[in-house]
């Protein structure tokens, strides 16, 4: 194999490599419904041949609520690991409820501890709640991620009155609509994820 062919093959393999997607669970509330929604979404994402997922659960983190420059060793180690996971992701999916017309405080804390890790990457949203289905939380998050030079995906998956839509086994009672919404979201995420990954590799983002 000559050099040009080898380089072309390597480029093709890189372009077609699975998209690394960090799925962020935004709630740490006692009795939260987040695992049901997340498991439903992960079943769809893990079936997508172009995607590899990793879960980042705010309930499993112990991030300080006060931002600081001088960190104790344990916090520094936690942030180093978490930052590496976010930095290594090609794209993000935020699974969020709506609290008081917006999104949960632990999610904002996670976002604010990082900056460059979000740059020039797509962010999709899966929301749940009461009548609004968490969509007001999503609209607030679009503004936050725009400030961080991220690209929010147009289509969302939202569950209105979410608790009534799933049975005790976590299965959606009427899956046709949500399944179609999940497919649309994932297809858009893959398109933007690949396009932005290629762009970052050819020309590092300078935001």
pLDDT at 1: 63
pLDDT at 5: 57
pLDDT at 11: 53
pLDDT at 9: 43
> What's the distance, Cα to Cα, between the start and end of the chain in Å?
39
What is the value of pTM for the model shown? 0.92
Decide which of 80 and 7 is more confident: 80
Residue 124, both tokens? 């999709």
Query: What's the mean pLDDT in 73-82?
Result: 93
- Report whether pLDDT(128) > 60: yes
Decide which of 14 and 151 is more confident: 151
* Tens digits of residue pLDDT in 87-123: 999 999 999 999 999 999 999 999 999 999 999 999 9
Query: What's the mean pLDDT in 191-197?
Result: 98
Burial of 90 (0-12, 13-18, 19+ CB in 10 A): buried
Burial of 5 (0-12, 13-18, 19+ CB in 10 A): exposed
Average pLDDT, the chain: 93
Q: How far apart are CA 105 and CA 101, in angstroms?
A: 12
Spatial CA neighbour of 34 closest among 162, 201, 175: 162
Residue 183, both tokens? 């497919």
Which helix (H) or strand (E) segment holds residue 56: the answer is strand 51-57
**Residue 178's CB: how many other CB atoms inside 10 A?**
18
Burial of 37 (0-12, 13-18, 19+ CB in 10 A): buried
pLDDT at 6: 46
With cut-offs at 50, 70 and 90, classify the pLDDT of residue 15.
confident
Q: In Å, what is the CA distance from 141 to each residue of 3, 26, 96, 123, 183?
A: 46, 11, 10, 10, 21
Alpha carbon of residue 103 to chain centroid: 14
With cut-offs at 50, 70 and 90, classify the pLDDT of residue 206.
confident
């Amino acid at each position: 194999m000559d050099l040009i062919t080898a380089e072309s093959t390597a480029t093709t393999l890189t372009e077609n490599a699975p998209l690394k997607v960090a799925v962020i669970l935004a709630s740490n509330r006692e009795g939260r419904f987040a695992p049901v929604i997340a498991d439903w979404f992960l079943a769809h994402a893990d079936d997508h041949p172009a995607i590899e997922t990793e879960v980042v659960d705010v309930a499993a983190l112990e991030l300080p609520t006060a931002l600081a420059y001088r960190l104790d060793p344990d916090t520094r180690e936690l942030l180093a690991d978490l930052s590496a996971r976010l930095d290594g992701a090609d794209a993000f999916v935020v699974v969020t409820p709506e609290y008081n017309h917006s999104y949960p405080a632990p999610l904002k804390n996670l976002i604010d501890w990082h900056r460059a890790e979000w740059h020039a990457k797509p962010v999709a949203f899966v929301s749940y709640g009461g009548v609004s289905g968490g969509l007001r939380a999503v609209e607030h998050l679009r503004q936050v991620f725009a400030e961080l030079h991220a690209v929010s995906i147009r289509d969302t998956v939202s569950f209105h009155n979410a608790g009534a839509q799933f049975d005790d086994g976590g299965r959606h009672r009427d899956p046709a609509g949500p399944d179609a919404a999940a497919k649309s979201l994932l297809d858009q995420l893959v398109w933007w994820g690949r396009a932005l990954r290629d762009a970052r590799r050819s020309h590092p983002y300078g935001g």
